[in-house]
Amino acid sequence: MHQKLVIGTRGSPLALTQTKLFQARIQSLLPDWQIDLKIIKTTGDAWALQSQKELPAGKGIFTKELEEALLQGEIDLAVHSLKDLPVEDPHGLTIAIIPERESPWDLLITKENASLDTLPLNSILATGSPRRITQISLLRPDLQIVDIRGNIDTRLRKLRENKEWSGIILAEAGLNRLRPDVQNLFLTPLKASQMLPSPGQGALGIQMRQNDPQIPLLLPLECPRTRGHVTAERAFLLALGGGCAQPIAALSSTDENLLHLEGFWSDGKNKQHREKQSSSSDNPSALGQQLAQKILAKINT
């Protein structure tokens, strides 16, 4: 009898696509195993088309039901977009595997060939992210920002249909994985100086039960470099007490034996701080905490 693993996932097109990509990697690693998918509807899916103000509080709205299914033994692992996972693991669960990261960057998607700098005065951009709104407003306070909800295809359709909108902003990783139709649209990656990403953006977190005997079998799918980067970013987020509704951004990189971290915090109004910190790569959590403390010292002065 074949060994079996059941992977839990949300049912959105992007969630299914990235889960199937990881399912294929497991199947290649364990060719004699039966690897099944189970779609689980989360609170976040039920509220996905609501405005930001109406979303339930907390960052776990896209993960809670998957975590409950794990704890109850209905599934063996859950594939999450790491930026959706709360920074503290629920009791009994762990992020067992972090595969190699896709692009962490955000993309400006426009109907005309224009960068963030060259968009006409008072252009309208659509995004539902407080992090993106805050950083855009610092660079181009003239731009008008409107809210947008829905999956990637829905947002691209809304951009094409709305004659007043100049563009939208989406995570590049999602487009790289899903490969939607972007014909006749212009895609411009936003630089770190323009838009720091959400902590963990572009990475997947494979959540499993602690001490699950299957974890060692999946360790070849782990990317140590990616884990170091996202660990620093998420430690920064945790130290600032952040969630998805707060304008907090971070991005880590490696240079030889040094780990670099750049972070951004804003109160969503008039205060914002952006700092950098570097250290040896052997303690990424400490680096995230140090950078957060540097920003907290400025917030409290």
Enumerate the active-site residues: 84
Of 276, 286, 234, give the one whose Cα is nearest residue 255. 276
Q: Are 196 and 71 in contact (CB under 8 A)?
A: no
Strands 124-126 and 165-171: parallel
Look up residue 154 and give its two tokens: 């829905």
Given a contact cutoff of 8 angstroms between Cβ atoms, the answer to whether 220 and 30 are in contact is no
Q: With 0-12 CB in 10 A as exposed, 13-18 as middle and 19+ as buried, what is 193? A: exposed
Write phi, then psi, for 250 (nearest 5 degrees): -160, 150
Q: Give the burial string for 14-28 (b: 16+ CB within 10 Å, else e).
A: bbbebbeebbebbee
Q: Report d(CA 199, CA 230) in Å as an integer.
A: 7
